[in-house]
Structure formats: C-alpha cells, structure tokens
Amino acid sequence: MKIKETILEFIKANLIISQNEEMLSDNDNIFELGFVNSLFAMKLLNYLESEFKIVVEPEDMDISNFSTLTNIEAFVKNKL
C-alpha cells in the first residue's frame, strides 16, 4: 500500500465518525475541519513513528507537516 493510502486508512480508522467526513480530500486541512482532538494528535505521532520507522524531531514540529494528507505524505517521504 502506498504511503498516502496507508495514512488515509489510519485517519479514517481513528478520526472520522460520520459519512460526510469520509469525503476528506488530499488537501483538506484536518485541523481546520475540526477533526483533531488531543488523543488523535498523540496517536498520529505514535503512528507515523512506528509505521514508517521514523523519528519526529523537535524541528519537525511545524503545523503544516501534519495538516493535510498531502503534507503528511511529503513529510514522511522526506524523513525516509
């Protein structure tokens, strides 16, 4: 499975509750859409580190890195 699809599956499993929200597109900002709560923020961090065997460093803490599917994919690819 490609990186973006893998991340989308994770987001669907952990973030989305209604059918309307499943229409998430690649460039939707999940923070602005109000999809993120504190539990998800930590789960996403753990998920990215464990799934892709990367370490999220202090300098990676830029909101844009985690705001959209496209950006998360780019961030992961850059770390690999």
Partner 1 sequence: MSHLSKQQQELYSEFLKFAKTNVEPYANQWDREECISRKIIDICSEAGYLGGTVPAEYGGQGWDNLTYGIFNEAIGRSSISLSGLFNVHTMIEQTILKWGTEEQKQRWLPFMAKGEILGAFALTEPEAGSDAAGITTEYRLDGDKLILNGKKKWITFGAIADIILVFGKLEGKPVACIVEKNTPGLTVTPVKDMLGFRAGHLAVLQFDNCVVSKENMIGKEGFALNYIALYALEFGRISVAFSALGLLRGCLEICSEHVQKRKTFDKRLIEHGAIRKMIADMGVDYEAAKLLCYNATIAKNNHSPDATEKVMIAKYFTTMAAARHSSNAVQIMGAFGCNESFAVSRYYRDSKTMEIIEGSNEIHQMLLGKSFARQFGKVTKIKDESN
Chain residues in the site for partner 1 (CB under 8 A):
10, 13-14, 16-17, 36-39, 41-47, 49-51, 58-59, 61-63
Least Å distance, CB 72 to partner 1, is 14
Smallest separation, CB 18 to partner 1 (Å): 10
| Closest C-alpha to 67, from 27, 17, 16 | 27
Dihedral over alpha carbons 36, 59, 47, 29 (to 10 degrees) = 30
Secondary structure class of 16 (helix, strand, coil): coil
Q: Which is nearer to partner 1, 33 or 61 (CB)?
A: 61
